[in-house]
Amino acid sequence: MADHYRPSNGTEGECFYAAWCRRCQRDAEHRADPINADGCEILLRSYALDIDDPDYPAEWTYRDGEPVCTAFVREDSSHG
Per-residue pLDDT of 39-79, as tens digits, reads: 999 999 999 999 999 999 999 999 999 999 999 999 886 54
- pLDDT at position 1, please? 46
Query: 61 and 72 in contact (C-beta within 8 Å)?
Result: no
- Rounded distance between C-alpha atoms, residue 68 and residue 79, angstroms: 23
Residue of 75, 76, 79, 77 whose CA lies nearest to 21? 75
Structure pTM?
A: 0.85
DSSP code of residue 37 = S
- pLDDT at position 77, please? 61
- Rounded distance between C-alpha atoms, residue 35 and residue 76, angstroms: 23
Residue 28 has pLDDT above 50, yes or no: yes
- pLDDT at position 2, please? 63
DSSP code of residue 70 = T
